Amino acid sequence: MDLALTDDQREILAAIDALTRPYAAANLHGAGFALTSGALDAELAEGGFLDVMAMGLGEVTAALVVERLARLPYAVEAQAAALVRPALDAAMPCGVCLVEEGMLHRPVRYLTAGVTVIVVGDVVRSFAAGPEHIRDAGDEVLFAYPMAYLTGLPGAMQTHAIGADEVRRLWRVGLAAESAGLLAGALASTVAHVSERKQFSRPLATFQALRHRLAEAQVLTNGCYWLALKAAASGDAGDAALAALYAQDAARRAVYDLHQFLGAMGMTLEHPLHLWTYRLKALSSELGGRGENALAAADAIWG
């Protein structure tokens, strides 16, 4: 399978890099666990970057956009907006969030008043969230996403023709693509730290034990990236489940090492590493976590 980027894809990624350059550094003053920017969200929507799949540029291009934006310290709702929303209704506004029916006890990423809540159960339904549907998560949720709880589902919701399994497939592709970007951002932040931090008059990055483990983290990141793109290119449910499973397992393995490399700084909010790793922790339990995604992969491959 040829996964070389097309000219359009390279231009889109270059444009994203140019637009997001002012947001590449994290302003941690008063940021807490999550870092968001309404200005960045507006610029991305205005530039049409979350509409690439609806424009006919394909699922792989949408996955590339999700991955690149996840490298930023700022949390951007691109996964559902770029991959799931166009499959339901290209005219649907960008503000969306995904909810598994029967899992309303879990906090929901990007749930705010006015967003479109996509509910995935036996069928796919949606509704516009109002203040009455939302309970603020506050300090209950220590993830680097804006999160809130749904108080319940309204009686009247719009039903979509798309199958629930197809939405879950797209959700898994987005999960893998976002995880790949988060791993890349977390690894880059860690490499910068160990390259500057010295011990025994040498940068930490010169010690062989760290270099081996950093190389392993890079291998995990690369694997997550390519499996996400393969799943987006093939449109296969088994590929998507495998990509999501690998992403969640890679996050579990890499996050431990990356925080350990920062020593005591890895246990504080003074360093931006948590802006990537705490998002990875939130994604690690989506769609049933590794167990459910492993079962979905086995079912898709062996029936």
What is the per-residue pLDDT across 218-250, written as a single tens digit (0 to 9) for each? 999 999 999 999 999 999 999 999 999 999 999
Which H or E run contains 91? none
- Percent of the chain exceeding pLDDT 90 equals 63
Query: Tokens representing 71?
Result: 């490298």
The residues, ordered by sequence, that sit 6+ positions from 272 with a Cβ below 8 Å of its Cβ are: 26, 28, 35, 73, 189
Helices (H) and strands (E) in the chain, counts: 10, 9
The residues, ordered by sequence, that sit 6+ positions from 14 with a Cβ below 8 Å of its Cβ are: none
pLDDT at 205 over 80: no
Which H or E run contains 124? strand 124-128
Predicted local confidence at residue 192, as pLDDT: 85
Predicted local confidence at residue 31, as pLDDT: 65
Q: What CA–CA distances, in Å, run from 57 to 48, 53, 163?
A: 12, 5, 22
DSSP state of 119: E
pLDDT at 206 over 70: no
Predicted local confidence at residue 43, as pLDDT: 94
Domain map (residue ranges) of the chain? 164-302
What is the model's pTM?
A: 0.93
Predicted local confidence at residue 19, as pLDDT: 95
Residue 152: count other Cβ atoms within 10 Å of its Cβ.
10
Predicted local confidence at residue 116, as pLDDT: 93
Fold of 164-302: Butyryl-CoA Dehydrogenase, subunit A; domain 3 (1.20.140)
What is the per-residue pLDDT across 252-288, written as a single tens digit (0 to 9) for each? 999 999 988 888 777 777 788 999 999 999 999 999 9
| CB half-sphere exposure, 274, CA atoms < 13 A | 19
Burial of 179 (0-12, 13-18, 19+ CB in 10 A): buried
Burial of 289 (0-12, 13-18, 19+ CB in 10 A): middle
Query: Tokens representing 299?
Result: 């079912």
CA distance 174 to 265: 30
Average of per-residue pLDDT values in the chain: 89
Highest mean pLDDT among 51-55, 146-150, 166-170: 166-170
What is the per-residue pLDDT across 40-53, written as a single tens digit (0 to 9) for each? 999 999 999 999 99
